[in-house]
Structure 1
Amino acid sequence: MWKFILRRIVVMIPQLFILSVLIFVLAKAMPGDALTGQLENNPKMDMQTLMEIKEKLGLNDPLYVQYTRWINHLLHGDLGLSYIHQQPVIDILAERIGNTVMLAVCILVLTYLIAIPLGVISGRWNHSWADKLIVGYSYTSFATPLFIFAVMMLFLFGFTLGWFPTGGSVDIQLEQGTAAYYINKMHHLILPSLSGALIGTVGLIQYLRSEIIETKMKDFVKTARAKGVPESRIYSRHILRSSFIPIAAFLGYEITGLIGGSIFLESIFSFPGIGQLFLQSIMQRDYSVVTVLVMISGVATLVGTLLSDIILSIVDPRIRIE
């Protein structure tokens, strides 16, 4: 196990290098930059001043020099300066990454709490009326884009019924650290978390249903029934244990997928996280922030893949990755 983890970490090093090169090159290939945007929005800034600022910041250096400087700063914890916010990128991330992590954790917990019972019911009593309802819900969710569903949830439960806040992560008048502050923060999390979870359950429900239906037709299950083993024990000891193994392995991939989904959710619900920051930075051409966020997303993808393999080898003792 430890050899496998160490080997995967070593393999990740060239992957991260290639990823960093691609991110840097694509960022440089995009039209304009934050300084160009300042020139358009600030009539007092002329082209000469703009060129002097670019020269001072090293933006006119060869690409390989800029890349080496960028990587060196990243390795030393310097994520650069946001030209739009006029703040270090690491300070901007520190203000927002906690909200994104909380939102991702809530979505993940709700997704599994909803998907596992529905998947078990649908697989155990397939072709029943309950199974048809669950499959219908899955197909409807699969066909509904996340951003459309989130807008519908916001309109119904936020604006129409007024049950939940329509934006932000907490009411600004509350004092941080108090019980009311954290309760209000959770109140703001419910609607975006539920929106993401109800759409995110589709794959888990269908996969768990298929695994249960396939497993209960296997020979070892038929043998257990022939020996008179109670049906409840057959499901708890054989069918569900075998069917849950791939579901557990999906955990790492689910964590990775939440990063992409948070862009839509945070934008629609005006939730101040790194997903909303990513979209704003693209619109404002603040590429120093964009490159860091894409790099974080790439690292999370690699770590999520590694985590999935580790979980898979832990939950099933028969699987040993050496």
Structure 2
Amino acid sequence: MWTIILRRIAIMIPQLVLLSVLIFVLAKAMPGDALTGQLADNPKMDMQTLAELKAKLGLNDPLYVQYTRWVSNLLQGDLGLSYTHQQPVTELLAQRIGNTVLLSVCIVVLTYLIAVPLGILSGRWNDSWADKLIVGYSYVSFATPLFIFAVLMLFLFGFTLGWFPTGGSVDIQLEAGTFDYYLNRLHHLLLPALSGALIGTVGVIQYLRSEIIETKMKDFVKTARAKGVPESRIYSRHILRSSFIPIAAFLGYEITGLIGGSIFLESIFSYPGIGQLFLQSITQRDYSVVTALVMISGVATLIGTLLSDLILSLVDPRIRIE
């Protein structure tokens, strides 16, 4: 197992190199830069001062020099300086990444708490009225864009009914570490997490439903029924165990896919995480933050792929990743 993991990590190295080149080239291909944006916002800054700042920051150096310097700093844990926020990118991300991780974990937990029972119900009693309702819900979820659904949830439960806060991650007047503080954080977190989970359940439901329907028609299940094995035991020991294999492997991809979805959720619900920061950095042309976040997202995707393969091999020992 460890040999396979080390081999996969070795394969990830050239992938990361290629990813870093693409990120750097695309960032440099974007029009303008953060200093040009500051020129428009700061009337006291003239063109000469702007040119001096660019020379001081090395923005006039050849691209290969800038890339080498960026990668060298990246390997040392230095993600650069945010020109907009005037602080190191590592400090800026440290202030927000906790909120995004917490939101992502809550979405994954809620997604599986909702999707697994519905998938089992739909697969075990397929073609029933309950199955038709669940399949209909899946179709609606699949056809509804996340940002539209999130806006509707915010309007209904935030502004109209007033059941949930409409922005932020916690009320500022609460003292950190108290019970009311954590309860208030959960209150702020629940609506965006539930919005992401209700849309994200469609994949798990359909996978699980299809696997159960296919598995219960296989020969080993028919043999168990012929031997008089109780139906509940057939489902718990044979059908569900086999059907959960692709669902377990799907978990790694679910985690990495949440990074993209958090951009919409955090922006709509004004939730201070790295998704909201990413969108703000693009509009403000803060390329140090943009390149750092895209690189982190790429690394998370590669790790998620490896995690999915490992989960798959652990759930079913017959499967070994190559």
Which of the five TM-score ranges fits, normalised by the shorter chain? over 0.9
Counterparts of 1:154-165 in structure 2, within 5 Å, are: 154-165=154-165
Q: Aligned to 1:22, what secondary structure does the other structure show?
A: helix
- 1:40 Cα offset (Å): 1.2
2:110 corresponds to 1:76 = no
Paired letter, 1:266: E
Paired letter, 2:11: V
CA deviations over 1:197-247 (Å, ceiling 9, x no partner): 000000110110000000000111111111111110110111000000000
Q: Aligned to 1:238, what secondary structure does the other structure show?
A: helix
Partner of 1:17: 17
- 1:317 Cα offset (Å): 1.8
- 1:321 Cα offset (Å): 3.1
Q: Aligned to 2:211, what secondary structure does the other structure show?
A: helix
- 1:136 Cα offset (Å): 0.5
Paired letter, 2:233: R
Distance in 2 between the 1:206 and 1:252 partners? 17
Q: Identity, % of aligned pairs?
A: 86
Distance in 2 between the 1:140 and 1:252 partners? 25
Distance in 1 between the 2:321 and 2:62 partners? 44
- 1:116 Cα offset (Å): 0.3
Partner of 1:192: 192
Partner of 1:120: 120
Q: Aligned to 1:250, what secondary structure does the other structure show?
A: helix
Distance in 2 between the 1:164 and 1:247 partners? 32
CA deviations over 1:36-88 (Å, ceiling 9, x no partner): 00111112111111011000000000000000100111111111000000011
TM score, norm. by length of structure 2: 0.99
2:277 corresponds to 1:245 = no
Distance in 2 between the 1:109 and 1:173 partners? 29
| Structure 1: runs of 5+ lacking an equivalent | none
Comparing 55-64 with 35-44, greater Cα deviation is found at 35-44
- 1:141 Cα offset (Å): 0.6
TM score, norm. by length of structure 1: 0.99
Paired letter, 2:228: G
Distance in 2 between the 1:213 and 1:133 partners? 17
Paired letter, 2:51: M
Partner of 1:214: 214
Distance in 1 between the 2:206 and 2:94 partners? 37
Partner of 2:261: 261
Partner of 2:57: 57
2:26 corresponds to 1:26 = yes
Q: Aligned to 2:60, what secondary structure does the other structure show?
A: coil
Distance in 2 between the 1:135 and 1:118 partners? 9
Partner of 1:5: 5
Distance in 2 between the 1:313 and 1:114 partners? 25
Counterparts of 1:283-302 in structure 2, within 5 Å, are: 283-302=283-302
Distance in 2 between the 1:292 and 1:234 partners? 50
Indicate the RMSD between aligned Cα atoms, in angstroms.
0.6
Q: Aligned to 1:172, what secondary structure does the other structure show?
A: coil
- How many pairs are equivalent? 322
Partner of 2:135: 135
- 1:318 Cα offset (Å): 1.7
- 1:319 Cα offset (Å): 1.6
Partner of 2:232: 232
Partner of 1:91: 91
CA deviations over 1:284-309 (Å, ceiling 9, x no partner): 00000000000000000000000000
Distance in 2 between the 1:35 and 1:319 partners? 53
CA deviations over 1:255-312 (Å, ceiling 9, x no partner): 0100000000000000000000000000000000000000000000000000000000
Distance in 2 between the 1:150 and 1:98 partners? 21
Partner of 1:105: 105
- 1:171 Cα offset (Å): 0.1
2:144 corresponds to 1:144 = yes
